[in-house]
Amino acid sequence: MTSLSLVSEARISDESLTVQIALLEHEGFRLTYAGPPGGEPRTPPSRTPRMPASPDLPAGLGLMAQRGQGYGGAGLLDAVNLTTGQAINPRPAGLIKAAPDKLLLQASDEASGLKAEVAISIEAGAIRCRTRLVNEGSGRLAIGRCASLLWPLPDWASTIRANYGSWAREGFEAVHELDAGAYERISRLGRTGFDGPPAFTLTDHGTQRAAGRAMRVGLEWSGSHRLRVERFPNGAAECCVEVLFEPGEMVLEPGGIFDAPAAFVLLSEEGLDGMTALSHRYARARNRPAERHKESVAVARPVHFNTWEARYFDFDEESLKALALDAAALGAERFVLDDGWFKGRRNDHTSLGDWVPDPDRFPEGLAPLIAHVHALGMRFGLWVEPEMVSRESALYRAHPEWVLGYPDPDAPTGRQQFVLDLSNEKVRDYLFDSLSALLSPGGIDYLKWDCNRELYPAEMSGKQRAHMQVEGLYALWRRLRDAFPHVEIESCASGGGRMDFGVLPFVSRFWASDATDALDRIRINRAAMSHLPHEMIGAHVGSSPNHITGRTFSMAFRALVALFGHFGLELDPVQLTAEERQTLIHAIGIFKRFRGLIHEGRITWQDERDPALDVTLIGKDDELLLRVLRTDTATRPLNPRIALHGLDRNALYSVSEILLETGAVQELGTFSGTALAWTGLSADPRQPNRGRLFHLRKTQKAKTGDTKNSESAR
C-alpha cells in the first residue's frame, strides 16, 4: 500500500475521546482515529488496498462518501435537481477545525449549487454529528435521503445488539453477528415505537457487562428513521444513520436549508455497563438544559400516583378526592389525573381535542380538585393527548381540514382517533392556547403527554407531512417550555413508544410500558435504562392480579422491581390488604430515604450463571444498593453465593439487609471488597418471584490480611 496525498488533517479531543480526520486526495474525508486519547496512529493513512476487479483508485469508506467512484455504500445523500433533472453529487471542499471541540467537513456540487456540511463535535463524552444542506443554486432540489451519520466501523465491531418489542411487550434484545451483508433497523410510521430509542450497540466478540469494547450509534429523532450496518465484500464495514422521508417530501427551494437531526457515537472500553454510563451521561447533558424548575425536576423526583388503573374512566370529583386522600396516606407526592377528565370523555372513542374540564364531573372546573390535592401535600399532574382528535369532538366538527389524511373522510383511524397536522401553525396555536388555559391559573406542574397511534396517513391533500409533523411537535413543546418552565412533561406513547433522544430537551420522564406486571417490568426497565437514565424511567407498583397478564405477585416483589427507577403507583389503594398497605408504605419510605442515591448513582447489572437471577447495583463509590430478584426456580438448589463486581477490592463495606415488609434493617457485618467479589454474598431470594434489598456503605480501606468473607451473611 502507498501513502495518499494528504490535503489536510485535524483532530478534536477531550479527557476521554479523540477524533482524528484526514482529507485525502481521491478518498475524501477519512476517519483515521476515534477512541481514547493516546491511541492515535503514528503513521500517515495508507491507500485502501486495490482488489482484483475493483476501481484503479479504490474509493474507501469516507464520512461524506458518495457513489460514483466505486464506493458501494449508502452514501451521504441521494438528491436530484428537479429543474435540470441532473443527479447531485457533492465532492469534498474543505476540512476546518471550527472550535477546539468541533470539526466541519465541507462538500459541494457546483452544477446544482448544493453545499453540504457535516459538523462533528465531542459533547458530554459522545461524538455528535450533524449534517446541513444548503441550496445556493437556482433550481429546486429533491432530497431522497440524507445521512445524519456515515461512519466507518472499527474491525473489532462484530456483534450487533438491538432492542425490539410491541405494546406491553417491550425490552427484548436481538443479537446478530456482523459477518456479511447488511442489518437494518427501520421505522416507517412517523413515530419511534416500542423497540426503544433509534440506536443499536456493536460489540467485540469478548465484550461482557463490565469489560470489553463497545460502540453505540443513535439518532436524536422521534419520527421515521433507518439505521443500517453493512459489511462489504472486502471486509470493511460502515454504519449509516438517517431520517426517512416520504416520496417527494423533502424539496429544497433556492436558498433553502435542511438540518438533519443529530446522530451520536459512544465508545466504551468498560463493556455494556460502561456503555450504559456513557449513554446516561450524554442523555442527561441533552436533558438538563430543559430543567428550568430544578427543585421539582432534577433533585427530588416525587413519588408518583397515577389514576388510570385505579379508576380508568369511572370517576367523579368526589371519588377522585377520596382517591387522592388514600394516595397521600400511602406517601404519594404527586397525583396525576389520567384520561377521562375533559368534556364528554367517557371512553376512548370521543372528545380528544376538546381540552376543557367536563362540567358534569367538575362543575367548578379542576380548581377544587387541585386545591384538595395540594392541601394533602401533593403536586398535581394531568394527562393530555394534544396531537390527536376524535371524530366525535367539537374540534373535528369545526376543523376537519386540520386532520392528517384530509380531505379523505374515510382516512384510517387508530384507537378511534385521527392525528392533527402539527405542521400547520394554526393547529399549534390552538393547542398552545388550549393547554395555556389549563396551565396559566397555576396548580398544574406536570403533563402526562400521550400519543396513542402512529402517523397513517401522513399527508394533507396528497402532500407528505411526516417529517414536518415531528418538527411541529418540537416547536410546540419548545413554546410550552418557554412559557411554562416549571411544568414537566412525561413522554408516554401507548407506554413504551417515543422513548428517544430527540425528545430529551423537552421531557423529564418516560413511561416505559403500559405493562405494570412485575416480571415483565424487570426486562422492560432494564432495556430502557440501558439507554436512558433510570431516574427518568417511570416504574410503578401495579395491581395484583395484574390488569394485563393476570399474574399475581407479592407487594414486596412489586415494590422492589419499581424501586430502581422513578417510583410510582398504578393501583387502587382500596383493594390493598392491610399487610400490602403496610409493605407499600415501608417501600415508599425506603425510596424517599435513598432516592438521591438511586437517581444520582450509577446502575450496573451483574452477569449471573443462573438466568433466573436479576442482580442490580446502583449507587456511588462509597454507598450502594444491591437488589436481587429471582424470577424462576433455582437451577442449583444449594443457592450459590452472588459475587459482586465493581467494588473497591481494597475497601471494607458495612452490609445490611433492608426488609420491605417491615422496614427493618438487619446488620450483616463488615466485609472486604475482595470477599464480596470472590466469596460473594448469600443473597439469593431462593423462591421464584421474590427479592432482597441490601445496603452497602464503604467504611475504610481494608487492612493487610483483612479478608473477612461473607460466610456469616444470611
- Please check whether residue 541 lies inside any domain of the structure: yes
Residue 591 has pLDDT above 60, yes or no: yes
Percent of the chain whose pLDDT exceeds 70: 95
Weakest-pLDDT range from 107-111, 159-163, 286-290, 291-295: 291-295
H helix count then E strand count, the chain: 12, 37
What does the pLDDT read at residue 296? Answer: 37
- Provide the pairing of β-strand 77-81 with 334-337: unpaired
Give 481-537 pLDDT, tens digit per residue.
999 999 999 999 999 999 999 999 999 999 999 999 999 999 999 999 999 999 999
- Please check whether residue 676 lies inside any domain of the structure: yes
Angstrom distance (rounded) from CA 496 to CA 499 = 7
Instruction: Give 635's pLDDT tier (boundaries 50, 70, 90).
Output: confident
The catalytically annotated residue of 358, 445, 514, 614 is 514
Weakest-pLDDT range from 298-307, 349-358, 602-611: 298-307
Quote the number of domains for the chain: 3
In eight-state DSSP terms, residue 675 is H
- Please check whether residue 707 lies inside any domain of the structure: no
Residue 547 has pLDDT above 90, yes or no: yes
Please give the average per-residue pLDDT across 631-652, as a whole number.
Answer: 88
Please give the average per-residue pLDDT across 46-53, as a whole number.
Answer: 71
Please give the average per-residue pLDDT across 21-28, as a whole number.
Answer: 90
Our CA angle for 193, 223, 497, nearest 5°, is 20
Instruction: Give 72's pLDDT tier (boundaries 50, 70, 90).
Output: confident
- Whichever domain contains 434, its CATH number is 3.20.20.70
- Please check whether residue 711 lies inside any domain of the structure: no
Claim to verify: residue 216 and residue 343 sit in the same structural domain: no
Give 181's contacts (C-beta < 8 A, 6+ positions apart).
230, 231
Claim to verify: residue 294 and residue 282 sit in the same structural domain: no
Angstrom distance (rounded) from CA 302 to CA 568 = 8
Instruction: Give 708's pLDDT tier (boundaries 50, 70, 90).
Output: very low
Query: Which position has the higher pLDDT, 186 or 27?
Result: 186
Residue 294 has pLDDT above 90, yes or no: no
- Provide the pairing of β-strand 509-511 with 488-492: parallel
Claim to verify: residue 156 and residue 234 sit in the same structural domain: yes
Q: Which of 562, 579, 596 is the last residue of a domain?
A: 596
Residue 709 has pLDDT above 90, yes or no: no
- Please check whether residue 402 lies inside any domain of the structure: no
Claim to verify: residue 104 and residue 233 sit in the same structural domain: yes
Please give the average per-residue pLDDT across 467-480, as a whole number.
Answer: 98
Claim to verify: residue 492 and residue 589 sit in the same structural domain: yes
What does the pLDDT read at residue 712? Answer: 41
Residue 542 has pLDDT above 50, yes or no: yes
What does the pLDDT read at residue 521? Answer: 98
Give 593's contacts (C-beta < 8 A, 6+ positions apart).
none
Residue 276 has pLDDT above 70, yes or no: yes
For residue 587, give the C-alpha cell: 417501600
Angstrom distance (rounded) from CA 350 to CA 174 = 39
Our CA angle for 233, 239, 242, nearest 5°, is 130
- Please check whether residue 505 lies inside any domain of the structure: yes
Give 664-701 pLDDT, tens digit per residue.
999 999 999 999 999 999 999 999 999 999 999 999 77
Give 367-405 pLDDT, tens digit per residue.
999 999 999 999 999 999 999 999 999 999 999 999 999
- Please check whether residue 1 lies inside any domain of the structure: no
Residue 546 has pLDDT above 50, yes or no: yes
Claim to verify: residue 451 and residue 334 sit in the same structural domain: yes
Q: Which of 269, 286, 303 is the last residue of a domain?
A: 286
Instruction: Give 1's pLDDT tier (boundaries 50, 70, 90).
Output: very low
Claim to verify: residue 345 and residue 493 sit in the same structural domain: yes
Domain range for 685: 604-701
Residue 713 has pLDDT above 60, yes or no: no
Q: Which of 286, 319, 341 is the last residue of a domain?
A: 286
- Whichever domain contains 640, its CATH number is 2.60.40.1180
Quote the mean pLDDT of the chain.
93
Alpha carbon 369 to chain centroid, angstroms: 33
What does the pLDDT read at residue 667? Answer: 97
Instruction: Give 61's pLDDT tier (boundaries 50, 70, 90).
Output: confident
The catalytically annotated residue of 354, 450, 500, 614 is 450
Instruction: Give 289's pLDDT tier (boundaries 50, 70, 90).
Output: low
What does the pLDDT read at residue 298? Answer: 43
Percent of the chain whose pLDDT exceeds 90: 86
Residue 453 has pLDDT above 80, yes or no: yes
Claim to verify: residue 608 and residue 579 sit in the same structural domain: no
Claim to verify: residue 571 and residue 454 sit in the same structural domain: yes
What does the pLDDT read at residue 36? Answer: 95
What does the pLDDT read at residue 64? Answer: 96
What does the pLDDT read at residue 57? Answer: 67
Residue 429 annotated to the active site: no
Residue 610 annotated to the active site: no
Claim to verify: residue 112 and residue 130 sit in the same structural domain: yes
What does the pLDDT read at residue 700? Answer: 78
Query: Which position has the higher pLDDT, 49 or 595?
Result: 595
Angstrom distance (rounded) from CA 72 to CA 232 = 8
Claim to verify: residue 508 and residue 652 sit in the same structural domain: no
| Cα separations in angstroms, 318 against 323, 382, 445, 574 | 9, 17, 22, 15
What does the pLDDT read at residue 43? Answer: 76
What does the pLDDT read at residue 337? Answer: 98
Give 198-255 pLDDT, tens digit per residue.
999 999 999 999 999 999 999 999 999 999 999 998 889 999 999 999 999 999 999 9
Q: Among residues 334, 341, 332, which one has the least CA distance to residue 314?
A: 341
Angstrom distance (rounded) from CA 26 to CA 59 = 7
Please give the average per-residue pLDDT across 100-129, as a whole number.
Answer: 97
- Please check whether residue 112 lies inside any domain of the structure: yes
Claim to verify: residue 259 and residue 312 sit in the same structural domain: no
- Whichever domain contains 215, its CATH number is 2.70.98.60
Our CA angle for 528, 530, 531, nearest 5°, is 75
Instruction: Give 703's pLDDT tier (boundaries 50, 70, 90).
Output: low
What does the pLDDT read at residue 711? Answer: 43
Alpha carbon 218 to chain centroid, angstroms: 10
Instruction: Give 579's pLDDT tier (boundaries 50, 70, 90).
Output: very high
